[in-house]
Structure 1
Amino acid sequence: MADMNLNADECLLTRMQEMSLDYHFTVEQEVGSATHAFFSFNGTAGVLRIATINEAGGWKDRSTVEDMDLAVRAGLRGWKFLYLGDLQVKSELPSTFNDYRNQQHRWSCGPANLFRKIVMEIAMNEKVTLWKKFYVIYSFFFVRKIIVHMVTFFFYCVVLPLTIFVPEVDVPIWGAVYIPSIIAILNSVGTPRSVHLLLYWILFENVMSLHRTKATLIGLFGAGRANEWVVTEKLGDAAKNKPAPKFFKKPKFKFGNRLHMLELGFGLFLFFCGCYDYVHGKNKYFIYLFLQTITFLICGFGYVGTIIPTSS
């Protein structure tokens, strides 16, 4: 079933999420269902047969993506999922940057952590074909849940900026610009009304790839926060309908609570690379680097999403 986001227009952050989720449902889920390939059950909106749950071994709490865990085990036992794009259910998106970061940590760390725990179960399964095992292990998990985050982050936020200091390394423009641009444009097909936000969406996704890469590595190696579950608070229409108190203090913003040092650090790194390229470079990468720097700094200073004042 498709999600109908109630608060997609609340702020720019929710618009960015709408673009990503619309692509996920309109393309990934639709294609997976139409081709009868494996695709993950979404816990937000779905119906499972009791027999499916029982045959798959029931719900397990070994990861923070229990819905994906159940879907994989059910798929290994021959059950198929059907996506109904014309049937929509209401949902809310996290509208503060901290809540969105926590959600993305769980969504990136959980699949990676599940992969390390279930990969041998998939490989040793005797009820599905070798091709389906390969598809689930390589395409569904390894490429889409692990590699995609790392490639985005390391290439655009680490490798490409560092090539500026090594003139002998020449990154072809088709690899740095053309192919990624085509992929980004295709990602906007699910949300035509937001196509004008595509440039900022790309820059923002590069920022989030930092957190997704970090979360993926934590999940892969089973580090301290691998099983951390932080409830994603969502304001949506609930905050608008909440009655105002009769007596209240003027809310204050605690600026220090909004600082994100990781984003600020990478913003300064990219700014330095951009300045060096402006002076010594030939490929004019500084244009991208300065735009990406601005995006990192906006996120680092907490000026993205809804800002919730404190009452103290």
Structure 2
Amino acid sequence: MIGSSTIYGTFLTYEMIWKRQELVNAECDKWARKGINIMSEIRDNRIGYKAGALKAGMMHNYVKQCEFVAIFDADFQPDPDFLERTIPFLIHNHEISLVQCRWKFVNANECLMTRMQEMSLNYHFVAEQESGSSIHAFFGFNGTAGVWRIAALNEAGGWKDRTTVEDMDLAVRACLHGWKFVYVHDVEVKNELPSTFKAYRFQQHRWSCGPANLWRKMTMEILQNKKVSAWKKLYLIYNFFFIRKIVVHIFTFVFYCLILPTTVLFPELQVPKWATVYFPTTITILNAIATPRSLHLLVFWILFENVMSMHRTKATFIGLLEAGRVNEWVVTEKLGDTLKSKLIGKATTKLYTRFGQRLNWRELVVGLYIFFCGCYDFAYGGSYFYVYLFLQSCAFFVAGVGYIGTFVPTV
């Protein structure tokens, strides 16, 4: 198994990292004494980031004796029977190259922001991966909690670090070589959601910028491929990449956070109900199905997703244009129970200091504009549209002052 090591930035000291490595080595030694062929490897650089780490791991001589590789991020905790429940799919069907498993979030109830993330990711698993697997269609690799057939991985060209979504890159190339994937809903792997707003923003930047940049780099590669049908090429280029990874982000922000608020300033503009009511309601209901326990939080989810669409839109354009932060790789900070308890014990920073460190001017600017449109509609409009505008502006203000997620002291 290969695990991509996570470094927690300022939260982990060199001493803590060294102790963690000692614990890993001790665990490997324990199993080695029982006759299990196990070892721990670590590289001394960050070249290529996660793709570079995975590529380096696959270059060890003992990998040549293996048929499959299981991949986990550092905060993922697979059950002892993980391989027993996933490897049979690969053994009994030689057309399958990837077994992707579901994520189970151990800190989903930590704060409102983690609840929102759980809703979005559950919808992703159901709407994209489970539905895609059930009809034998393509779906992306999540980068962790999965098992790859090494022969398929090598045939597809191995790990590449040309974008920050090496997992999606590999999955698309494997698909172009005719390999199939399967998603196993019943096999859950415990992991942690980012619980600070700063960490979540960095994660969403990478998840939005990377696919847009990959679409730019792979479109001609997909079109020139002769092993897949024209229909699959169209699906990959238009449906999977263009609609899901680009249009959705831009449309959500531009339409619901800019165009709709602006219409109250021009009464002659009439937006059809399907765009303002029917379409959003349908998406909301579908999202509720994926996480029924959070049905009462749907309004908060809509407002929060609209706020995050601003960051995703910005990241998407950076990826399309290959601008400054296109290859930025900031490891997503996961606090963990032990580290979190230590930090909370130090949480004596005064409120005004926190505000100064957490101000996000982009959210504040957009929030002010939407609030202005809401006031105009309240004074001169003939509907109750200002209710949505005031709620949405409040969501931007809350994110603008950083009053969201888990608070972590800076010392």
Shared fold per TM-score greater than 0.5: yes
For 1:112-261, what aligned pairs fall within 5 Å after superposition? 112-240=212-340, 242=342, 250-252=348-350, 253-261=353-361
Q: Is the 8 A contact 2:193 2:334 kept in 1?
A: yes
Distance 1:277 1:7, change over 3 A: same
Looking at structure 2, the residues matched to 23 and 237 of structure 1 have their Cα atoms a distance apart, in angstroms, of 26
Tell me: CA distance 1:222–1:249, structure 2 relative to 1, closer, same or farther (3 Å): closer
The 1-side partners of 2:205 and 2:338 are apart by 24
Q: Which runs of 5+ in 1 are unaligned?
A: none
Larger radius of gyration: 2
Count of aligned pairs: 309
Match of residue 363, structure 2, among 252, 255, 263 = 263
CA distances 1:165-184 after superposition (whole Å, capped 9, x unpaired): 11111112232012211211
Is the 8 Å Cα contact of residues 5 and 90 (structure 1) preserved in structure 2?
yes
The answer to whether the 8 A contact 2:343-2:408 is kept is no
Cα offset for 1:101?
Answer: 0.4
User: Scaled by the length of structure 1, what TM-score is found?
Assistant: 0.96
CA displacement 1:83-140 (0-9 Å, x = unmatched): 0000011111000001000000000000000110011000110000000000000000
Residue matched to 2:144: 44
Query: What amino acid is the match of 1:108?
Result: S
- CA drift of 1:188 comes to 1.6
Identity %: 64
Partner Cα separation in structure 2 for residue 40 and residue 210 of structure 1: 24
**Distance between the aligned counterparts of 1:109 and 1:249, measured in 2?**
33
In structure 2, the partner of 1:304 is 404
Contact 1:10 1:236 in 2 (8 A): no
Q: 1-side partners of 2:381 and 2:167: how far apart?
A: 48
Secondary structure (helix, strand or coil) at the match of 1:85 reads strand
Greater percentage in strand: 2
String of CA shifts for 1:139-195, please: whole Å, max 9, x gaps. 000000000011111110011111111111111223201221121111121111101
Which residue is 1:278 aligned to? 378
Counterpart of 1:2 in structure 2 is: 102
> C-alpha root-mean-square deviation of aligned residues, in Å?
1.5
Query: Which contiguous aligned blocks of 4+ residues in structure 1 show a shift greater than 4 angstroms?
Result: 240-245
The 3-state SS of whatever aligns with 2:225 is coil
Provide the rounded CA distance (Å) in 1 between the counterparts of 2:303 and 2:223: 37
CA distance in structure 2 between the aligned counterparts of 1:95 and 1:198, rounded to whole angstroms:
19
Aligned-partner SS, 2:104: strand
CA contact (8 A) 2:141 2:171 kept: yes
Query: How has the CA–CA distance of structure 1 residues 97 and 250 changed in structure 2, closer, same or farther, with 3 Å as cutoff?
Result: closer
- 2:347, 2:284 → 1: CA distance? 45
Contact 2:140 2:172 in 1 (8 A): yes
Query: Is the CA contact (8 Å cut-off) linking 2:363 and 2:400 kept in structure 1?
Result: yes
- After alignment, is 157-166 or 62-71 more displaced? 157-166
What is the DSSP-based 3-state SS (H/G/I as helix, E as strand, rest coil) of the residue aligned with 2:255?
A: helix
CA shift for structure 1 position 251: 3.8
Partner of residue 97, structure 1:
197
Which residue is equivalent to 2:209? 109
RCO higher in structure (CA 8 A, sep ≥6)? 1
Q: How far apart in 2 are the matches of 1:177 and 1:153?
A: 16
Does residue 78 of structure 1 match 2:178?
A: yes
Using the TM superposition, name which of 119-128 and 233-242 deviates more: 233-242
Q: Is the 8 A contact 1:93 1:236 kept in 2?
A: no
1:120 is aligned with what amino acid? M
Are the equivalent residues in 2 in contact too, given 1:7–1:237 (CA < 8 A)? no
Change (3 A) 1:9 1:123: same
TM-score of the two chains, using structure 2 as the length reference: 0.73
Query: Partners in 2 of 1:215 and 1:133 — Cα distance?
Result: 25
d(CA) in 1 for partners of 2:196, 2:304: 14
Contact 1:6 1:236 in 2 (8 A): no
Give distance in 2, aligned partners of 1:187 and 1:84: 20
Q: Distance in 2 between matches of 1:34 and 1:250?
A: 51
Question: How far apart in 2 are the matches of 1:207 and 1:109?
Answer: 17
**1:237 to 1:24, Cα distance in 2 relative to 1, 3 A:** same
Amino acid of the structure 2 residue aligned with 1:237: D
Counterparts of 1:243 and 1:171, CA distance in 2: 48
One-letter amino acid of the structure 2 residue matched with residue 214 of structure 1:
K
Q: Which residue in 1 is equivalent to 2:73? A: none
